[in-house]
Structure 1
Amino acid sequence: MGDPYILMLVALAILAIVDLVVGVSNDAVNFLNSAIGSKAISIRNIMIIASVGVFFGAVSSSGMMEVARKGIFNPSMFMFQDVMYIFMAVMITDILLLDVFNSFGMPTSTTVSIVFELLGSAVVIALIKITQNDSESFSAIWDYINYNTATDIILGILLSVIVAFTVGAIVQYFSRLIYSFNFEKRPSYINAIFGGFALTSITYFIIIKGLKGTDFYDNLKGFLEGNTLQIIAISFLICSLASYLLTKIFKLNILTLIIGVGTFSLAMAFAGNDLVNFIGVPIAALNSYEAWNVSGVDPAAFSMGSLAKKVPSNIWLLLMAGAIMVITLWTSSKAKSVIETGINLSRQGEGHEKFQPNNVSRIVVRSAMVLNTGINYIIPLKVQDFINAKFEKPTIKLPKDKTYEMPAFDLVRASVNLIMASVLISIATSMKLPLSTTYVTFMVAMGTSLADRAWGRESAVYRVAGVLNVIGGWFLTAIVAFVAAGIVAYLINLNIAFIPILLIVVAFLITKNSIDHRKKTNEVKKKKFVERSELININGVIEESSDHISEVANRINKLYTHVVNDLANHDLNKLRKTDKHVEKLNDEVDNLKDNVFYFIKSLEESSVQASKFYISVLGYLQDASQSISYISRASFKHVNNNHKNLKKGQLKDLKEINNKLSDILTDVSAVFSERNFDSLDNILQQKSELLIDVSDSIEKQVSRIRGDETSPKNTTLYFSILLETKDLIKSLTSILETYEEFYLSTK
Structure 2
Amino acid sequence: MENIYLLMIVALAVLAIADLVVGVSNDAVNFLNSAIGSKAISFRTIMIVASLGIFLGAVFSSGMMEVARKGIFVPEQFMFNEIMIIFMAVMITDILLLDFFNTLGMPTSTTVSIVFELLGAAVAMALIKISASETETIADLANYINSSKALMIISGILLSVVIAFSIGALVQYLSRLVFSFHYERKMKNFGAIFGGLALTAITYFIFMKGMKGTPYYDDLKGLLTGNELLIIAGSMVVWTLFSFLYSNVFKKNILALVITVGTFGLALAFAGNDLVNFIGVPMAAYHSFEAWSASGVAAEAYSMGALAKKVPTEPMLLFIAGGVMVLTLWFSKKARTVTETELGLARQDEGQEKFQPNLLSRTVVRASTRFSEGLDMILPKSTQQKINSRFEKPQNNPAIAKHDAPVFDQIRASVNLMIAGVLISIATSMKLPLSTTYVTFMVAMGTSLADRAWGRESAVYRVAGVFNVIGGWFFTAISAFFAAALMAYIIYLGGPAAIAVLIFFAIVLLVRNYITYKKRSQETKEEDRIKRSESSSIQGVIHESADNISAVANRSRKIFRDAITGLAKEDLKQLKKSKKGNDKLTSEVEELRDNIFYFIKNLDESSVGASDFYITALGYLQDMAQSLEYIGKASYKHVNNNHKKLKFNQTRDLLEVQEEIEKLLDRINETFKNRDLDNIDEILHSKQLLLERLSEKIQKQITRTRSEESSPKNTSLYFSLLMESKDFVVAVMNLMELYYREHDSSIPAPEIVSESN
Instruction: Give the structure-2-normalised TM-score.
Output: 0.91
Q: Bigger shift: 139-148 or 162-171?
A: 139-148
- Structure 1 vs Structure 2: percent identity of aligned residues? 58
- In the other structure, the counterpart of 2:541 is 541
CA contact (8 A) 1:110 1:274 kept: yes
Once residues 129 and 577 of structure 2 are traced to their aligned partners in structure 1, the CA distance between those partners, rounded to angstroms, is 47
Are the structure 2 counterparts of residues 405 and 581 from structure 1 closer, same or farther at C-alpha, using a change threshold of 3 Å? Answer: closer
Task: For 1:230-309, list aligned pairs within 5 A.
Answer: 230-309=230-309
- In the other structure, the counterpart of 2:487 is 488
- In the other structure, the counterpart of 2:344 is 344
Shift of 1:112: 0.7
* AA aligned opposite 2:132: Q
Task: For 1:659-670, list aligned pairs within 5 A.
Answer: 659-670=659-670
Shift of 1:439: 0.7
* AA aligned opposite 1:297: V
Shift of 1:624: 1.5
- In the other structure, the counterpart of 2:725 is 725
Provide Cα deviations, 1:540-582, integer angstroms capped at 9, x if missing partner. 4334433333332333333333323322333333323332222
1:594 aligns with 2:614: no
- In the other structure, the counterpart of 1:433 is 432
Shift of 1:274: 0.4
Are the structure 2 counterparts of residues 295 and 658 from structure 1 closer, same or farther at C-alpha, using a change threshold of 3 Å? Answer: same
Once residues 586 and 423 of structure 2 are traced to their aligned partners in structure 1, the CA distance between those partners, rounded to angstroms, is 45
- In the other structure, the counterpart of 2:471 is 472
User: SS where residue 567 of structure 1 aligns?
Assistant: helix
Q: Bigger shift: 282-291 or 729-738?
A: 729-738
Are the structure 2 counterparts of residues 524 and 384 from structure 1 closer, same or farther at C-alpha, using a change threshold of 3 Å? Answer: farther
CA contact (8 A) 1:188 1:244 kept: no
Are the structure 2 counterparts of residues 173 and 742 from structure 1 closer, same or farther at C-alpha, using a change threshold of 3 Å? Answer: same
Once residues 36 and 598 of structure 1 are traced to their aligned partners in structure 2, the CA distance between those partners, rounded to angstroms, is 23
Once residues 560 and 85 of structure 2 are traced to their aligned partners in structure 1, the CA distance between those partners, rounded to angstroms, is 53
User: SS where residue 351 of structure 1 aligns?
Assistant: coil
Shift of 1:278: 0.8
Once residues 743 and 588 of structure 2 are traced to their aligned partners in structure 1, the CA distance between those partners, rounded to angstroms, is 25
Once residues 66 and 746 of structure 1 are traced to their aligned partners in structure 2, the CA distance between those partners, rounded to angstroms, is 78
Task: For 1:42-441, list aligned pairs within 5 A.
Answer: 42-186=42-186, 190-395=190-395, 398=397, 400-401=399-400, 405-441=404-440
User: SS where residue 135 of structure 1 aligns?
Assistant: coil
Shift of 1:248: 4.8
Once residues 16 and 639 of structure 1 are traced to their aligned partners in structure 2, the CA distance between those partners, rounded to angstroms, is 48
CA contact (8 A) 1:537 1:605 kept: no
Once residues 377 and 507 of structure 1 are traced to their aligned partners in structure 2, the CA distance between those partners, rounded to angstroms, is 60
- In the other structure, the counterpart of 1:530 is 531
Shift of 1:671: 3.4
How many residues of Structure 1 are paired with residues of Structure 2 in the alignment? 745
Are the structure 2 counterparts of residues 524 and 651 from structure 1 closer, same or farther at C-alpha, using a change threshold of 3 Å? Answer: closer
Are the structure 2 counterparts of residues 722 and 284 from structure 1 closer, same or farther at C-alpha, using a change threshold of 3 Å? Answer: same
Shift of 1:317: 1.1
User: SS where residue 145 of structure 1 aligns?
Assistant: coil
Once residues 357 and 399 of structure 1 are traced to their aligned partners in structure 2, the CA distance between those partners, rounded to angstroms, is 31
- In the other structure, the counterpart of 2:751 is none
CA contact (8 A) 2:22 2:102 kept: yes
User: SS where residue 579 of structure 1 aligns?
Assistant: helix
User: SS where residue 203 of structure 2 aligns?
Assistant: helix
Once residues 399 and 564 of structure 1 are traced to their aligned partners in structure 2, the CA distance between those partners, rounded to angstroms, is 44
Shift of 1:270: 0.8
* AA aligned opposite 1:621: L
* AA aligned opposite 1:130: I
Once residues 569 and 251 of structure 2 are traced to their aligned partners in structure 1, the CA distance between those partners, rounded to angstroms, is 74
CA contact (8 A) 2:63 2:311 kept: no
Provide Cα deviations, 1:210-238, integer angstroms capped at 9, x if missing partner. 32244322233344333333433344344
Q: Bigger shift: 283-292 or 737-746?
A: 737-746
Shift of 1:594: 2.9
Provide Cα deviations, 1:470-524, integer angstroms capped at 9, x if missing partner. 2222112112222222232233223222333333333333334334444555546
Shift of 1:192: 4.0
Once residues 662 and 235 of structure 2 are traced to their aligned partners in structure 1, the CA distance between those partners, rounded to angstroms, is 74
Shift of 1:281: 0.9
CA contact (8 A) 1:530 1:599 kept: no
Once residues 7 and 39 of structure 2 are traced to their aligned partners in structure 1, the CA distance between those partners, rounded to angstroms, is 47
Q: Bigger shift: 281-290 or 446-455?
A: 446-455
Provide Cα deviations, 1:663-721, integer angstroms capped at 9, x if missing partner. 33333333333444555455445443443343344444444554554433333323322
Shift of 1:17: 1.6
- In the other structure, the counterpart of 1:550 is 550
CA contact (8 A) 2:199 2:239 kept: yes
Task: For 1:638-657, list aligned pairs within 5 A.
Answer: 638-657=638-657
- What are structure 1's unaligned runs of at least 5 residues? none
Once residues 24 and 112 of structure 2 are traced to their aligned partners in structure 1, the CA distance between those partners, rounded to angstroms, is 15
* AA aligned opposite 1:194: F
User: SS where residue 554 of structure 1 aligns?
Assistant: helix
Shift of 1:168: 0.7
Are the structure 2 counterparts of residues 139 and 605 from structure 1 closer, same or farther at C-alpha, using a change threshold of 3 Å? Answer: same
Q: Bigger shift: 153-162 or 316-325?
A: 153-162
Once residues 432 and 500 of structure 1 are traced to their aligned partners in structure 2, the CA distance between those partners, rounded to angstroms, is 39
Shift of 1:187: 7.1
Are the structure 2 counterparts of residues 305 and 347 from structure 1 closer, same or farther at C-alpha, using a change threshold of 3 Å? Answer: same
- In the other structure, the counterpart of 1:444 is 443
- In the other structure, the counterpart of 1:581 is 581
Instruction: Give the structure-1-normalised TM-score.
Output: 0.92
* AA aligned opposite 1:272: G
Are the structure 2 counterparts of residues 558 and 332 from structure 1 closer, same or farther at C-alpha, using a change threshold of 3 Å? Answer: closer
Shift of 1:437: 0.7
Are the structure 2 counterparts of residues 228 and 344 from structure 1 closer, same or farther at C-alpha, using a change threshold of 3 Å? Answer: same
- What are structure 2's unaligned runs of at least 5 residues? 748-757
Shift of 1:421: 0.9
User: SS where residue 300 of structure 1 aligns?
Assistant: coil
Once residues 252 and 566 of structure 1 are traced to their aligned partners in structure 2, the CA distance between those partners, rounded to angstroms, is 62
Are the structure 2 counterparts of residues 195 and 609 from structure 1 closer, same or farther at C-alpha, using a change threshold of 3 Å? Answer: closer
CA contact (8 A) 1:664 1:687 kept: no
Are the structure 2 counterparts of residues 547 and 364 from structure 1 closer, same or farther at C-alpha, using a change threshold of 3 Å? Answer: same
Once residues 400 and 186 of structure 1 are traced to their aligned partners in structure 2, the CA distance between those partners, rounded to angstroms, is 24
User: SS where residue 226 of structure 1 aligns?
Assistant: coil
User: SS where residue 454 of structure 1 aligns?
Assistant: coil
Are the structure 2 counterparts of residues 712 and 253 from structure 1 closer, same or farther at C-alpha, using a change threshold of 3 Å? Answer: same
Provide Cα deviations, 1:416-447, integer angstroms capped at 9, x if missing partner. 11121112112222333221111111111111
Once residues 129 and 228 of structure 2 are traced to their aligned partners in structure 1, the CA distance between those partners, rounded to angstroms, is 48
Task: For 1:672-687, list aligned pairs within 5 A.
Answer: 672-677=672-677, 680-681=680-681, 683-687=683-687
CA contact (8 A) 2:168 2:419 kept: yes
Shift of 1:260: 2.7
Q: RMSD across aligned C-alpha pairs, in angstroms?
A: 2.8
Shift of 1:241: 4.2
Are the structure 2 counterparts of residues 583 and 45 from structure 1 closer, same or farther at C-alpha, using a change threshold of 3 Å? Answer: closer
Once residues 66 and 205 of structure 2 are traced to their aligned partners in structure 1, the CA distance between those partners, rounded to angstroms, is 21
CA contact (8 A) 1:530 1:596 kept: no
Task: For 1:511-530, list aligned pairs within 5 A.
Answer: 511-522=511-522, 523=524, 525-530=526-531
CA contact (8 A) 2:539 2:743 kept: no
Once residues 151 and 410 of structure 1 are traced to their aligned partners in structure 2, the CA distance between those partners, rounded to angstroms, is 39
Are the structure 2 counterparts of residues 525 and 156 from structure 1 closer, same or farther at C-alpha, using a change threshold of 3 Å? Answer: farther
CA contact (8 A) 2:538 2:610 kept: yes
* AA aligned opposite 2:527: K
Shift of 1:23: 1.4
CA contact (8 A) 1:545 1:614 kept: no
CA contact (8 A) 1:64 1:213 kept: yes
- In the other structure, the counterpart of 2:612 is 612
User: SS where residue 349 of structure 1 aligns?
Assistant: coil
Provide Cα deviations, 1:623-666, integer angstroms capped at 9, x if missing partner. 11211211111121222223232333433332333333333333
CA contact (8 A) 1:189 1:244 kept: no
